Amino acid sequence: MTRLGSSMLDTLREHDSSKLDRYLVFGLILTIPSIPFVRFGAGDFQIPLAFLIIGVYACLKLPVLIRDSKPVPMRVSITAMLAIYAAWSAASLLWATTTDLAASRLFIRICQIFFCILVINFCAVGLASVHRMSWLLPLAVLVVVLVGYFGYFTSTNPPHYQFSYEFPRFLGDRNSDTFMILTGLPFALAMLLTGAHGRLGSFLGLVAFVLMALAIFLSLSRANLLVMILVVSILVIADFVLRRGRLRSIMLVAALCVGLVVVVSLVPSDRFVQTITQHEKRFEELEDDTRWGLSVAALELAAEHPLTGVGLNNYPPEFHTTNTGRFWYRAERHKPVPHNSFLSIWAELGTPALALFTMILLWPLASVLRLAPRIMRSQDLLFIHLFLGSLGLSLVLIQGIMAYNFADIFYFWLVYAVNALIIVALDRALRHSSERSLAVRPFAKRGMLFGARQEYL
């Protein structure tokens, strides 16, 4: 009787844990529209709504893990890299010149890394659940995009599209605004290319993609515009290769171009011409951009402290000690921050942390690329859809942080964790599908194999 009761309790815990994991992902995605506008706290300790959900999840999840007798398969490599990165950041307090700044940043970083480790190792969401939620990411970001269009068309003379016109700018400037939009773009494009969510999903993907692409163009963010062009090109080529050059892929790309032309025609001609002129001006002024001074100063600090850096979050005070910072005329009006996460980490934590962070950043891309041969053999729309979305998201995470110091904001790590969940679920489903195929191949037809995979999902 005791053994039977224990078995039933274990089953109930597994069921509750799985449901809790699904609620976490669902809740995190739904909080994305609130990130720029809803926060709690004071000073540097601004807490987004998603942080509260993560806290509740951790309090409910940890007791289940402690009581669970079965060992949890850990993702050793990425967990070790994240843990060492957190430990090195903590050690930087020993050599930081301004320890109060370092301590405040350290608390936030440890929370971000703890969240990623918790989700990557202990959040078990099935592929079917991830697939059902994958359409929520572009639609959640689309809410933010529509807020931006409201400001763009109602303001008398907006200098550029930005969704935070009439709201406090908690997330940042136009670079971080368009970075948020970029994270929804890959799955919107994947919805259109694969049709994995049906005709309605393809239509929603087309609408979301066109609105997001135009918003990024109107934002005047040079780096994010180039990132968008590169990511879209890679995803279209990847879809063409995975689906072996289907005519449908070419027709869908043509539909994207037509959709962009139609939406652009709705923008007032004077504002569109103004945007073109401002883009040309911004690219012409690239050599005189003050970001070059911030980057040069970061390189100076990295050269002076190659092993340890100047300490976590100590770039702003140390900037004025560099040759560039002493003569920077905007230093009194703007807080100096490198517009590149790699340079920021290199200057503050040294070369070891830079190498470690680079490996952490490349882990999703390397993981999803290893799945490509199996996905090509499967020719399953569900697999291709999630592969394209995760591939695009991995590229955005790598390239986007070259435009701004995004690695210090919580949204970057939220997207990183969601992308890791998709990759883990996709890898698990592909492994199980291969094992099931080998087991039933002598007796089953293709339809039976598909049914077996659906039963697992």
Tokens 């078995």, residue? 7
Determine contact, residues 43/88, Cβ cutoff 8 Å: no
What is the model's pLDDT at position 124?
A: 78
Task: Write a three-state SS string for 191-205.
Answer: HHHHCCCHHHHHHHH
How many CB atoms lie under 10 A from the CB of residue 277? 10
What is the model's pLDDT at position 394?
A: 94
Residues of the chain with pLDDT under 50: 1-16, 42-43, 164-172, 329, 331-332, 438-457
Residues in Cβ contact with 372 at an 8 Å cutoff, skipping those fewer than 6 apart: 242, 387
What is the model's pLDDT at position 272?
A: 65
Q: How far is CA 255 from CA 264, 337, 406, 408, in A?
A: 14, 41, 33, 37
What is the model's pLDDT at position 12?
A: 34
CA 97 to CA 126: how far, in whole Å?
47
Which residue stretches of 195-285 are H helix? 198-218, 222-242, 247-266, 269-284
What b/e string do you get for 376-398 counting C-beta neighbours within 10 Å, with b at 16 or more? eebebebbbbbbbbbbbbbbbbb
Determine contact, residues 411/37, Cβ cutoff 8 Å: no
Residues in Cβ contact with 365 at an 8 Å cutoff, skipping those fewer than 6 apart: 391, 394, 395, 398
What is the model's pLDDT at position 400?
A: 75
What is the model's pLDDT at position 223?
A: 76
What is the model's pLDDT at position 14?
A: 40
Residues in Cβ contact with 171 at an 8 Å cutoff, skipping those fewer than 6 apart: 35, 36, 164, 177, 180, 409, 411
For 328, the 3-state DSSP assignment is coil
Q: How far is CA 64 from CA 43, 57, 189, in A?
A: 35, 11, 38
CA 207 to CA 89: how far, in whole Å?
42
What is the model's pLDDT at position 15?
A: 42
